[in-house]
């Protein structure tokens, strides 16, 4: 797979993130093509999740967080003072490490956000539920049990329900933060198959510690590490196959071959 010849969906230029006086991310410049899967890899604490949260301004929720530099969605500044954060988070959805299913029915989990965005007619909500569950390959299993509590599903099904919930508001980008790390191998395989299918329509950015997963599903990989100044920086950004077979930086090679990290 190759995404380097596609139109850019997300771009950053020399973006820096601070938590108070702590310089968390330094001078990150990257270009994420549309309808590709980008894997952010690197040792624990290097800022992978912080980088992911930059793309839908989730870091805004952290006290004293400050962003410098530029980030763009479809060439429009994400951090422009006039940017509508609610609309941004509708366009750039997020799936977290552990399934965060709400204590309500499967149906209500999915329609919660569409309702907040003004969709009230039951026929429309029913269609959103059906289409969202079809996309995550759960409709056939759950269509007769939509009133069942979402928390009664297996952990793998719960994570797919969370992805369905993200899809319900018709995002353009899906951020996945270690979304398979709490799952068994079979559930992980199903989520990976789902990622590959969704990438035909959506731009997907994942954080993963699993090098095999990065190789299996991603088109492009971003390798990060902590520099001597304790700041997380982007060491190498390249097509995944190229990075894993001919890394340009010795530190990348050391990490992907397990010499550190």
Tens of pLDDT, residue by residue over 217-235, are: 999 999 999 988 899 999 9
Task: Using the predicted structure, report yes or no on whether residue 5 has a pLDDT greater than 80.
Answer: no
In the structure, what pLDDT confidence band is assigned to residue 199 with cuts at 50, 70 and 90? very high
What distance in Å separates the CA atoms of residue 212 and residue 235, rounded to the nearest whole number?
A: 19
Tell me if 93 sits within 8 A of 149, measured CB to CB: no
Q: Domain limits of the chain? A: 8-256
Residue with tokens 């429309």: 124
The CATH superfamily of 8-256 is P-loop containing nucleotide triphosphate hydrolases (3.40.50.300)
Enclosing H/E stretch for 105: none
Q: How many CB atoms lie within 10 A of CB 167?
A: 23
Lowest mean pLDDT among 170-174, 226-230, 237-241, 246-250: 226-230
- What is the overall mean pLDDT for the chain? 93
The reported pTM is 0.93
pLDDT value at residue 165: 94
| Residues 6+ away with beta carbon under 8 Å from 192 | 180, 213, 216, 217
- 36-73: pLDDT as tens digits: 999 999 999 999 999 999 999 999 989 999 999 999 99
- Name the nearest CA neighbour of 212 among 187, 240, 239: 240
3-state secondary structure at position 162? helix
pLDDT value at residue 1: 43
- 65-122: pLDDT as tens digits: 999 999 999 999 999 999 999 999 999 999 988 889 999 999 999 999 999 889 999 9
Please report, rounded to a whole number, the percentage of residues in the chain having pLDDT higher than 90. Answer: 86
Please report, rounded to a whole number, the percentage of residues in the chain having pLDDT higher than 70. Answer: 98
Per-residue pLDDT, averaged over 166-171, amounts to: 93
pLDDT value at residue 261: 60
């Amino acid at each position: 797979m190759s995404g380097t010849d596609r139109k850019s969906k997300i771009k950053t230029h020399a973006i820096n993130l601070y938590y108070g006086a702590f310089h968390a991310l330094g001078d990150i410049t990257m270009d994420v093509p549309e309808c590709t899967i980008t894997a952010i890899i690197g040792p624990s604490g290097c800022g992978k999740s912080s980088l992911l949260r930059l793309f839908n301004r989730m870091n805004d929720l952290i006290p004293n967080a400050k962003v410098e530099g530029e980030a763009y969605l479809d060439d429009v500044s994400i951090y422009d003072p006039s940017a509508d954060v609610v609309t941004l988070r509708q366009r750039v959805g997020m799936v977290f490490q552990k399934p965060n299913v709400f204590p309500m029915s499967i149906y209500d989990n999915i329609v919660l956000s569409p309702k907040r965005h003004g969709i009230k007619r039951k026929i429309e909500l029913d269609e959103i539920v059906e289409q969202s569950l079809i996309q995550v390959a759960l409709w056939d299993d759950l269509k007769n049990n939509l009133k069942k509590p979402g928390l009664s599903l297996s952990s793998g099904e719960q994570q797919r329900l969370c992805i369905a919930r993200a899809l319900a508001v018709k995002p353009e980008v899906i951020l996945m933060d270690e979304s398979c790390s709490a799952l068994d191998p079979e559930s992980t395989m199903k989520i990976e198959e789902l990622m590959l299918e969704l990438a035909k329509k959506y731009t997907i950015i994942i954080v993963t510690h699993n090098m095999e997963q990065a190789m299996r599903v991603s088109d492009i990989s971003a390798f990060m590490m902590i520099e001597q100044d304790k700041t997380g920086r982007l060491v190498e950004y390249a097509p995944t196959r190229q990075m894993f077979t001919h890394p340009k930086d010795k530190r990348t090679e050391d990490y992907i071959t397990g010499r550190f990290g």
